[in-house]
Amino acid sequence: MAQIVECVPNFSEGRRGQVIDALADAVGHTPGVRLLDVQSDESHNRCVISFVGDLDGVVRAALAAARRAVELIDMNVHTGEHPRLGAVDVIPLVPIAGVSMEACVTAARALGAELWQELRIPVFFYAEAATRVERRRLPDIRKGEYEGLPAKLADPDWAPDVGEPMPHPTAGVTVVGARRPLIAYNVNLRTEDVDVAKRIAKVVRESSGGLPAVQAMGVRSAAGQAQVSMNLLDYTTTPVHRAYELVQSEAARYGVEVLESEVVGLIPLAAVADAARAFLRLRGFTREQILEAKLMEE
Amino acid sequence: MAQIVECVPNFSEGRRGQVIDALADAVGHTPGVRLLDVQSDESHNRCVISFVGDLDGVVRAALAAARRAVELIDMNVHTGEHPRLGAVDVIPLVPIAGVSMEACVTAARALGAELWQELRIPVFFYAEAATRVERRRLPDIRKGEYEGLPAKLADPDWAPDVGEPMPHPTAGVTVVGARRPLIAYNVNLRTEDVDVAKRIAKVVRESSGGLPAVQAMGVRSAAGQAQVSMNLLDYTTTPVHRAYELVQSEAARYGVEVLESEVVGLIPLAAVADAARAFLRLRGFTREQILEAKLMEE
């Protein structure tokens, strides 16, 4: 089957259109890679470039964009509201189809080694590629930001995974890793009482003892309903249907029904197939039985 | 989005490997078309070639294979257990993604016109492309078979849709049409009592007043369970989840649970997405939100 890996690097430039275009072009001109989306934010002064390809292709494209970022971005004059450590701030590799998480971790480690060897950027590995449990979460790694790097790297607990313990003079440090695709998933309740959604969210989210790899909060939807707004960080750990059903059963305790749910943005085919499989009690169902997935085989 | 049309022509040759290969090669060498599967049956003396492509591509591939079939197959010496009318027995066009049923009907009509103009094969249109209600079902069109064609075509009620009312001297007649993909779908019950499956099948199938576009029978599964074995002829009319839920609620009348269900062979992505959408009450969910489907866009 064709390998599909998504890569969504974040660069510390959200204002100069020519720089953002140069980064996107570096990705788009890499053979075997398909540019999906470029999003930039002026107040964050940051852009996110989404692309897919096979593992070799996305690693080459990420390196090509990193080369341009080092040429064009100077972190010493960078300001923005979003925490950041470097010109090439973070590079996540995301297995979508036909590729294992292990292979993405191996590729992330190789990409980190290249960033140091070619561009002299020290690298931290995070998420599934982390070398220590304290380095799994981006917020922990980002503490102190670019300006605090000289002090942070001098601490033996924060020696980079690759390279010398000194930030690149203009590009800082890069965080490279592998993670599952995030699914932004909301369940709207047949009530306007946001307190109900907040109580359900507390039961659902991992941080208060709920479902693993789930972030959740109770909010009011644009249409005025109480909404349990979730990020499903790993659909192989907590699938969409399990999140839905826990919200549904918790809502029933308040005499509240689920009105509807919604996926915001993209969802991998495997997560959709998992939901159909679970509800239909499908036995022996494989992704390759889906005609379009079969067509993507090589 | 990329157009995906499936074409599954049936040819009256299931014994001579070289002829079957020649037909498959004619398809496989057509640009823009992807050969998926070739199945032949010696007792039926018949083969089925599955391929996909855009509408233009599959029509060109079907014509290329038809040309070879007319050269290589003589219906006057053909014997086999499956009813048939011609060397190129039937050509169904099946919309999978990015193409409407109407466009497939139009293409089927154009393909029929070409079969007559170039190869002098008279054509009946069937299924969604039928010109009269009596011509919607293949078994009705096939009555009398190849040997009965001279008499059948002489009946004004059975004048061909395209061409003169005389069969091609060696290739007979071809039936061309457009239909939805068939989904072979079984629900296994937590009982060995096949009578329960037979009673449920009677409620479920269209022919005895059940769900439209559903064929169903009660059988014993390979593992010994009672099974409601179905063909879902149009998942846009009766989706998979509705068939599942009717079997489930009918089974409950006998105190029987659904053990599991299974898809035999292929299923279109849209049918899988429909099931997930229904059970998760997904609002505003589109096929393009599935990452892999987005990748197939052009």
Paired with A139 in beta bridges are none
Q: How far is CA B73 from CA A147, B143, B168, in A?
A: 79, 21, 12
- For residue range A266-283, list pLDDT tens digits in order: 899 999 999 999 999 999
Contact A265 B96 (CB under 8 A): no
Does any CB of chain A come closer than 8 Å to the CB of residue B282?
Answer: yes
Q: Nearest to residue B69, comparing CAs of B81, B52, B84?
A: B84
Rg (CA), chain A: 21
In eight-state DSSP terms, residue B279 is H
Q: For A240, name the nearest residue in chain B, comparing CA atoms only.
A: B280
Does any CB of chain B come closer than 8 Å to the CB of residue A283?
Answer: yes
pLDDT at A296 over 80: no
Numbered ranges of CATH 3.30.990.10 in chain A: 4-178
Of A133-142, B116-125, B221-230, which has the strongest mean pLDDT? Answer: B116-125
Do residues B30 and B64 lie in contact, with contact meaning Cβ atoms separated by under 8 Å? yes
End-to-end CA distance of chain B: 5
Active site (annotated) includes residue A82: yes
Cα–Cα dist B214/B231, whole Å: 6
Q: Which two tokens stand for residue A232?
A: 């499903």
Q: Is the dihedral of CA B234, B238, B239, B240 positive or negative?
A: negative
pLDDT at residue B70 in the model: 98
Amino acid letter, B22: A
**Mean pLDDT, chain A, whole residue set:** 95
Region A32-54: mean pLDDT is 93
Numbered ranges of CATH 3.30.70.670 in chain B: 183-294
Least confident range from A155-164, A281-290, B229-238: namely A281-290
Residues of A with Cβ-Cβ distance to B36 under 8 angstroms: 294
Do residues A181 and A168 lie in contact, with contact meaning Cβ atoms separated by under 8 Å? no
End-to-end CA distance of chain A: 5
pLDDT band for position A66 (50/70/90)? very high
Annotation: CATH topology of B4-178: Formiminotransferase-cyclodeaminase; Chain B, domain 1 (3.30.990)
Do residues B125 and B108 lie in contact, with contact meaning Cβ atoms separated by under 8 Å? yes
Least confident range from A95-99, A173-177, B147-151: namely A95-99
| Smallest Cα distance from A252 to chain B, Å | 16
Do residues B167 and B152 lie in contact, with contact meaning Cβ atoms separated by under 8 Å? no
Cα–Cα dist B167/B177, whole Å: 19
pLDDT at A294 over 90: no
pLDDT band for position A53 (50/70/90)? very high
pLDDT at residue A293 in the model: 86
* Chain B (162-191) residues lying within 8 Å, Cβ to Cβ, of chain A: 181, 188
**How would CATH label the architecture of A183-294?**
2-Layer Sandwich (3.30)
| Smallest Cα distance from B150 to chain A, Å | 40
Using DSSP's 3-state secondary structure scheme, residue A98 falls into coil
Q: Nearest to residue B89, comparing CAs of B99, B78, B98?
A: B78
Residues of B with Cβ-Cβ distance to A241 under 8 angstroms: 279-280
pTM of this prediction exceeds 0.80: yes
Region A134-163: mean pLDDT is 96
Contact A266 B240 (CB under 8 A): no
Mutate to test the interface with B, among A6, A188, A241, A295 (most CBs of B within 10 A): A295
Amino acid letter, B284: G
- For residue range B131-146, list pLDDT tens digits in order: 999 999 998 999 999 9
Q: Which two tokens stand for residue A47?
A: 């852009």
- Phi and psi at residue A35, to the nearest 5°: -75, 125
pLDDT at B186 over 70: yes
pLDDT at residue A81 in the model: 87
Contact B283 A265 (CB under 8 A): no
Residues of B with Cβ-Cβ distance to A283 under 8 angstroms: 188, 260-262
| Smallest Cα distance from A62 to chain B, Å | 19
Using DSSP's 3-state secondary structure scheme, residue B136 falls into coil
Does any CB of chain A come closer than 8 Å to the CB of residue B248?
Answer: no
- For residue range A171-216, list pLDDT tens digits in order: 999 999 999 999 999 999 999 999 999 999 999 999 999 999 999 9
- Phi and psi at residue B241, to the nearest 5°: -65, -30
Do residues A121 and A111 lie in contact, with contact meaning Cβ atoms separated by under 8 Å? no
- From B96, B281, B285, residue closest to A291, measured CB to CB: B96
pLDDT at B4 over 90: yes
pLDDT band for position A2 (50/70/90)? confident
Considering chain A, what percentage of its residues have pLDDT values greater than 90?
89
Q: Which two tokens stand for residue A180?
A: 């599952």
Q: Is the dihedral of CA B130, B132, B137, B140 positive or negative?
A: negative
Does any CB of chain B come closer than 8 Å to the CB of residue A285?
Answer: yes
Q: Nearest to residue A201, comparing CAs of A183, A213, A219, A184?
A: A219
Up-side HSE of residue A243: CA atoms within 13 Å toward CB?
35
Using DSSP's 3-state secondary structure scheme, residue B147 falls into helix
Residues of B with Cβ-Cβ distance to A291 under 8 angstroms: 4, 6, 52, 96, 181, 266-269
In eight-state DSSP terms, residue A209 is T
Contact B276 A280 (CB under 8 A): no
